[in-house]
Amino acid sequence: MQLAQRAAGISPSPTLAIDAQAKAMKAKGVKVINFSAGEPDFGTPEHIKQAAIDALAAGFTRYTPVAGIPELRQAICASLAARGVTYEPADIVVSCGAKHSLYNAMQVLLNAGDEVILSAPYWVSYYEQVKLAGGVPVVVTTGPDTGFKLTPGLLEAAITPRTRLLILNSPCNPTGAVYSREELAALAEVIVARDLIVISDEIYAALLYDGLTHTSIASLAPEVKERTILIDGVSKTYAMTGWRIGYAAAPRPVAKAMTDLQSHSTSNPISIAQKAAVAALTGSQEAVEMMRREFEQRRNRILAGLRELPGIECNQPGGAFYVFPYIGKLFGRKFRGRVLGNSTDVATALLNEFQVAVVPGVAFGAEPYLRLSYATSMDQIEAGLERLRAFVTELE
């Protein structure tokens, strides 16, 4: 059967594919070290699970308002207020994960041929979602020289009369880059002057290290907020990836359009997951801080371990739970008779020969890098580093 052009052009998520392969190997009894997962290895905190159990017991099992229950949208507004940005519940649309929020936003904002600026390395789904909405991804490559961050100069140079949207992601998946308030203000000047819309993906806002603090670009000025779609959710902050609750905070007409769109696809996100999200946002934040501290220690360990490996260099990520080492010096060298030519060669050799799952940089529009998630135990990190050392020392 012939598929629509829309479907034929979709590339499956390479991160989910590698994660699935690693999990399949594990299920067969292979001792895989999995650095590919984009999710916390912690369980959802007990009080959040209990809220879902209570909701279920109380029979909270029917359709809810499409954009989410008022209680949750109110809790989201309160959580965003702590970030210095004021929204009302009518500006909030709760969806089935932040990925869904991003999808809805692009569907209601983009016309065919509209250009969307993506700063590479970028999170894989942005690229595909832009295409699915008929947009044209315009990739601006950044590197370690700017800390993998977009600068006003790079942004200006990418703008054309067709540019409609910029996607920002701070803290960033895959690089862990965190934009400072000043850096965002400099970008915001261009955004306002050139009349762009910005999707600000802040899903990792709570996972910051080295005393860094999060700034939402929407908090900088009213004229920035009125052109920002702020995206966040509970997946990463509260170890709730499977619950599928994400949200957008947007100018009212955009929120309304996203709600109308959602009313014809998923309708409301899962009722009991919404109750759990209320407990997450309004309850104790102790578990969040515990997980953040643990991630910071793991980041320190994996970063130090990678920097000791010959031929590997690594920027210090300030947030999220990924490291993004530079592996250019490994290219051209031989592993068991085969020349390593790109990040996929390296990732394939690591998975097949050393049972270490990593994601090749090319999946994020960036060579020559790998992404390693440190949302795994310290023991696994130690074992993985040992295997990586065995790999690089074997190269000819």
The residue (of 35 and 335) whose beta carbon lies closer to ligand PLP is 35
> Given the complex with ligand PLP, which of 246 and 365 has the nearer CB atom?
246
In the complex, least distance from residue 246 CB atom to ligand PLP, rounded to whole angstroms: 4
Cα dihedral 189, 192, 195, 201 sign: positive
**Longest CA span, the chain:** 64
| Residues near ligand PLP, by CB under 6 A | 38, 97-99, 123, 169, 173, 201, 203, 233, 235, 241, 246
Residue whose CB is less far from ligand PLP, 97 or 365: 97
Toward ligand PLP, which CB reaches closer, 91 or 201?
201
Q: Which residue's CB is nearer to ligand PLP, number 108 or number 203?
A: 203
Min dist. Cβ of residue 157 to ligand PLP (A) = 24
Question: 26-29: which pairs have CB atoms within 8 A and are 24 or more residues apart?
Answer: none
Q: How far is the CB of 123 from ligand PLP (least distance, A)?
A: 4
Q: Tokens 């060669």 map to which residue? A: 345
Q: How far is the CB of 392 from ligand PLP (least distance, A)?
A: 27
**What's the length of the chain?**
396
Closest approach of ligand PLP to the CB of residue 242, in Å:
9
Q: Minimum distance between the CB of residue 124 and ligand PLP, rounded to whole angstroms? A: 9
- Rounded to a whole number of angstroms, the minimum distance from the CB of residue 241 to ligand PLP is 5
- CB nearer ligand PLP, residue 291 or residue 385: 291
> Least separation, in Å, of the C-beta of 5 and ligand PLP?
26
Residue nearest to ligand PLP (CB): 97
Residue 167 Cα distances to 115, 158, 197, 225, 320, angstroms: 11, 13, 9, 14, 17
Q: 168 vs 309, which CB is nearer to ligand PLP?
A: 168
The terminus-to-terminus CA distance of the chain in angstroms comes to 48
- The minimum distance between CB 46 and ligand PLP, in angstroms, equals 21
Q: How far is the CB of 83 from ligand PLP (least distance, A)?
A: 17
Q: Which is nearer to ligand PLP, 203 or 306 (CB)?
A: 203
Residue closer to ligand PLP (CB basis): 89 or 171 = 171
C-beta closer to ligand PLP: residue 236 or 305: 236
Give yes or no for a cis peptide into 65 (omega within 30° of 0).
no
> Comparing C-alpha atoms, which of 207, 290, 268, 244 is closest to residue 60?
268
